[in-house]
Amino acid sequence: MINRDRLAGTFKSLASIDSVSRQEARISGEIRKMLEPMAREILIDRAGEKAGSDTGNLIAKIKGNRNVPPLMLNAHMDTVEPGIGVKPQFKNGVFTSDGTTVLGADDKSAIAIIIETLQILHENNIPHGPLEIVITICEEIGLLGAKNFDFNLLSAKYGYAIDTADTECIITRAPAANRFEILVHGKDAHAGADPENGINAILLASRAISGLELGRIDSETTCNIGVIEARGATNIVPNLVRVKGEVRSHDVAKLEEVTRKIVAAFEDVVTDYRKKNASGSLPRLDIDIENEFSRTFVPDDHPVVVLAKQAAENLGRQVKTKKSGGGSDANVFFEKGIITGVIGTGMQDIHSVRESIRLDDMEKTVRLLLEIIDIHSNGTRRS
């Protein structure tokens, strides 16, 4: 039933269209053309205006002919950089790039899988319930498409984001995340002639960072500083440094506690300097804390999990629930009341020029989706 050549062709076509975040209009148009034969309605929302993209999220509604709750399927159309001039290669059943860019299997493999699934349902007149397809923009730069999505356009209350590697799991737990940006303001001075009159912002930031616990804090919590940025010259005492990082945790209390410790570390360094040097209003801090996304926790007895496990069992496979350290559109959907499990396509080495995906793995996910939809068409309930 699955047309492997068509699936491969769809993915290759999509991967060949550059679509780094905020430049998704061209691929959105191509996806729309592919979906039009199956969808009764295709919409583009206005998320792009807020996210700074040249298009919005794409929503396709497939009517279905079974009286069951609508099921949502989600993927994202944007890629990370280097993503300009992608030339997909296919050899021995494996897709790669030419080694100078990412491939875009994250997440165009999911889009190809969804399209093949819908084509099979359509051309074989397979009974199924209503389906709502949401292909988002700007996922890779902070889930901006999902965050600015018009949720009034959806009626589904649960579904799947196809956006991870493992084809034998469903991610049911993902962390919440806080993103922080701290500006440390010092005072500039000539580094050789008058260093005593300066306040080195880099030094102060370094003292604060040196007292932090970074990396894996515990089994539920991580912390990272990813950017330390200052401008100037070696003969100038730096008066400003920007520090950017994140905290993630499956426990909201831990998330807030680690975030509080980071802020306190910087505040203590500044307060201590002022006490010892009577320096007036400097040094000082500007602190911005943003909740990047909320956690997800899908119960094992929810239809999203029951459907996936039953579908895998019917196919002679096993799908296990899994906890992830990463975020996805599913976090945003979950926060808005749409219970979303995350399933995989087989993509490997994502966000690198070594990215790859096996056609066999993509086919496995098509089979799983078809089986999920088939079971769903007969009605679902909590076990």
pTM given for the model = 0.93
Helices 359-376 and 4-15, packing angle to 10 deg: 110
| Contact (CB, 8 A) for 341 and 306 | no
Is residue 139 part of the annotated active site? The answer reads yes
The CATH topology of domain 176-293 is Alpha-Beta Plaits (3.30.70)
- Cβ burial of 236 (10 Å; 0-12, 13-18, 19+) is middle
Q: Count other Cβ atoms within 10 Å, centred on residue 45.
A: 22
Residue 6: name the closest of 134, 312, 83, 14 by CA: 14
β-pair partners for 243: 182, 228
Structural Rg of the chain based on CA atoms: 24
State phi, psi for 59 to the nearest 5 degrees. -125, 120
Cis upstream peptide for 283 (omega within 30°): yes
| Contact (CB, 8 A) for 374 and 126 | yes
End-to-end CA distance of the chain: give it in Å, rounded.
31
The CATH topology of domain 4-174+295-376 is Aminopeptidase (3.40.630)
H or E stretch at 264: helix 252-277
For the chain, what are the domain ranges? 4-174+295-376, 176-293
CA–CA separation, 113 vs 355, rounded Å?
18
In Å, how far from its chain's centre is CA 189? 43
CA–CA separation, 95 vs 259, rounded Å?
41
CA–CA separation, 348 vs 342, rounded Å?
16
Per-residue pLDDT of the chain (383 residues; tens, 9 = 90+): 899 999 999 999 999 999 999 999 999 999 999 999 999 899 999 999 999 999 999 999 999 999 999 999 999 999 999 999 999 999 999 999 999 999 999 999 999 999 999 999 999 999 999 999 999 999 999 999 999 999 999 999 999 999 999 999 999 999 999 999 999 999 999 999 999 999 999 999 999 999 999 999 999 999 999 999 999 999 999 999 999 999 999 999 999 999 999 999 999 999 999 999 977 889 999 999 999 999 999 999 999 999 999 999 999 999 999 999 999 999 999 999 999 999 999 999 999 999 999 999 999 999 999 999 999 998 754 33
Among the options 45, 116, 139, 361, which is catalytic? Answer: 139
The residue written with tokens 């701290």 in the block is 182
Q: Is 314 left (phi over 0), alpha (psi -120 to 50) or beta?
A: alpha
Exposure b/e, 288-320, CB count within 10 A at least 16 = b: eeeebbbbbebeeebbbbbbbbbbbeeeeeebe
Q: Do domains 4-174+295-376 and 176-293 have the same CATH topology?
A: no
The residue written with tokens 């604060």 in the block is 208
Q: Give the pLDDT of residue 380.
A: 54
The residue written with tokens 């583009």 in the block is 44
Cis upstream peptide for 301 (omega within 30°): no
Q: Give the pLDDT of residue 250.
A: 97
Among the options 78, 106, 163, 329, which is catalytic? Answer: 78
| Contact (CB, 8 A) for 361 and 163 | no
**DSSP 3-state assignment of 143?**
coil
Tell me the two tokens of residue 93.
């059943």
Sign of CA dihedral 21, 26, 29, 30: negative
CA–CA separation, 61 vs 43, rounded Å?
9
